[in-house]
Amino acid sequence: MTTLCESANKPTTFYALSISMLLAYVKSCFRALRQRTSRRRDPQAVMTQNPGLAAASHRTTERRPRSSGSLPEDRPSRQMPMNRIVPLILAVALFMEQMDSTVIATALPAIANDLHVGPITLKLALTSYMVSLAVFIPISGWMADRFGAKNIFRIAICVFVIGSIMCAFSGGLPEFVFARFLQGVGGSMMTPVGRLVLVRTTQKSDLVSAMALLSIPALVGPLAGPPLGGFITTYASWHWIFLINVPVGVLGVILSTIYLPDVEATMPPKLDVTGFLLTSFAASGVVFGMSVISLPALPPVVGISAVVIGLACGFLYIGHARHHAAPILDLSLLRNATFRASVTGGTLFRICIGAMPFLTPLMLQLGFGLNPFQSGLITFAGAIGAITTKFIARRVFTAVGFKTALLSAAAITTITTICTGFFQPWTPHLIIVGILLIGGFSRSFFFTGINALAFADISDRQASQATSMSSVMQQISLALGVAVAAMILETSTFFSGTELQVHDFHIAFFCISVLTVLATIPFIRMDRSAGAMVSGHKAGLKRVAALEPQVEQRVAK
């Protein structure tokens, strides 16, 4: 372990060999993509070069009956009976990405010490990862359609593993931030493309079972992240948090190559390059500006300028989206009342969700003097609370409806956040665990509700665009949560003129609780029947049924 720690700041044989092998694999994948693309563009040339293939294709075309479904007449369905190894392979890759997003929180002080920066400054590593997710998630579907979902999935794993290796051997903050951004690029492709592979290769009758297997990493990853990260940091080295991704990623690439079925590439609509660039600069500008505006190492004008540039790009995109036939993010979805409420209220609430995993481990370690493993075991309670939500959320939403359930969850979250702001080093750990357990439950409950509410009144035609916008806003708001929490801490220490103290964390928790109150405003004005078709709320369904004749009369008039 000492050898690893000492070699973290200089190139090693392992480092160079791993990078070269993965880069060689990515290069071979891109070479295959180019060959596949050229064949797709000139199918006649392929038939000319392969007479046997042409004859087989001719025989197949003569024997195959015309399809009456939505697929093209000359292309059969690729869906097949569920092979359990396919969702399990995808689940392993997604587990690696899900766990990595939570395992780093408990290791922040140790990483900051080795990189010779303050723990709060490492917010840049967290926000860069989330920003890269927000930037590249919208084009993940286009990439999968253009170059083949299986190829993009394998390349995404390689990029994520390369980023993990670079994180482990980073010798300074700029290197570490760039490596985390690269990890986010890989992660942004893994999750949506993995789901796409599953949907396109699984029969509808088996889709629920397959999705259940795929949801395992989303549940276990955040649950195992804090204690595992704390254990590795305390009894080994934080470098292994990232290096454990290497064998998992290599295994995922090998199994994907052998067992994942090929999902044929198509010719998707032309990519909205202008919209992609504008949204990228808008998201990165605002989050980066908020992250550095209070850093002592940089003048405030840098952060302010970045925020202004980001907002300007956002306004430019609004004008661009109005005149583009297929914008990368469809802003017309905001005309839908339930979707608008879930985006606006959800953005404010997710700032709280993003701030809590950043503030709590830092307070327990820097303020209370706990080691990373002890901190991880305590914050583990919040993950347990979040998991329990999955077992009762549907019943609660069916019983009381979205409006009542969301307002109640927001109220409980506000109370638990305020209570967290009163924690002291001598507070019994059992009380801390209990508060964090309830807070994790209420935050996850609200999070589940707004995610379901966002699609309550969205048509099938709009589902893809709604998914992209929800994912982008989710990552931006989580990144803003880290940036806002760090800015509050840095501002508090600036005015107090002292090092980071426990009361600085208290101020941050109190400020975050205000945002949870503001997040309820869109839902206070929401109709009680909103989302009844999704939740199954009986009173809401009756109200919807009573309103339907009135709506039909208005439409007729």
Last residue of a domain, one of 231, 251, 270: 270
* Mutual angle of helices 173-201 and 123-147, in 10-degree steps: 40
Pair (369, 255) in one structural domain: no
pLDDT reported for residue 311: 92
- pLDDT tens for each residue of 364-388: 988 888 888 888 888 888 888 877 8
Same domain, 304 and 392: no
Q: Which position has the token pair 């305590």?
A: 378
- Cα 251 to Cα 259: distance, rounded to the nearest angstrom: 12
- 277 plus 394 within the same structural domain: no
CATH code for the domain in which residue 22 is found = 1.20.1250.20
Asked, for residue 75, whether it belongs to a domain, the answer is: no
pLDDT (0 to 100) of residue 509 = 92
Measured between alpha carbons, how far is 505 from 276 in angstroms, rounded to an integer? 37
* Cβ atoms 170, 176 nearer than 8 A: yes
Indicate if 257 and 278 belong to the same structural domain. Answer: no
Provide the 10 A C-beta neighbour count for residue 319: 10
- pLDDT in the model for residue 430: 92
Radius of gyration of the CA atoms of the chain, in A: 25
Any domain includes 67: no
Select from 538, 553, 531, 351 the least CA-distant residue to 451. 531
Residue 202's beta-bridge partner residues?
Answer: 80
Other residues' Cβ atoms within 10 Å of the Cβ of residue 290: 22
Asked, for residue 71, whether it belongs to a domain, the answer is no
* C-alpha to C-alpha distances, 345 to 290, 305, 440, nearest whole angstrom: 20, 27, 18
- Compute the distance between CA of residue 303 and CA of residue 290 in angstroms, rounded to an integer: 6
Interatomic CA distance for residues 74 and 61, integer angstroms: 7
Q: Backbone phi, then psi, for 291, in 5-degree steps?
A: -75, -35
Sequence-distant (6+) residues with CB within 8 A of 555 are: none
| Same-domain status, 262 and 280 | no
- Count of other CB atoms within 10 angstroms of residue 109: 20
Question: 518 and 377 in one domain?
Answer: yes
List the domain range (segments joined by +) for residue 434. 329-557
- Yes or no: say if 389 and 445 are a contact pair by the CB < 8 Å rule: yes
Residue 104: name the closest of 462, 411, 361, 282 by CA. 361
Q: Which residue has the tokens 């840098």?
A: 302
429 and 439 co-located in one domain: yes
Check whether residue 442 and residue 537 sit in a common domain. yes
What was the pLDDT predicted at 219? 60
Q: Which residues of the chain have pLDDT under 70?
A: 1-84, 199-223, 263-266, 268, 297, 460, 462-464, 529-557
What's the token pair of residue 33? 């993509």
Q: Which amino acid is at 528?
A: R
List the beta bridge partners of residue 80: 202
- 481, 431: one domain: yes
- Helices 85-103, 173-201: crossing angle, 10 deg rounding: 150
Considering the domain architecture, whether residues 426 and 506 belong to the same structural domain is answered as yes
Q: Do the beta carbons of residue 499 and residue 336 sit within 8 Å?
A: no
pLDDT digits (tens, 9 = 90+) for 207-239: 556 666 666 666 666 667 788 888 888 888 889
If one counts the domains in the chain, the total is: 3
pLDDT of residue 301: 85
pTM of the model: 0.72
Are 102 and 211 contained in the same domain?
yes
In a domain, 323, yes or no: no
Question: 182 and 228: one domain?
Answer: yes
**Phi, psi for residue 202 in degrees, rounded to 5:** -120, 140
| Alpha-helix residue ranges (DSSP H) falling in 336-462 | 337-362, 372-420, 429-453
Contact 454, 346 (CB under 8 A): yes
Instruction: Please report whether residue 56 resides in a domain.
Output: no
Which has the closest alpha carbon to 381: 406, 401, 348, 356?
356
Within a domain: 61? no
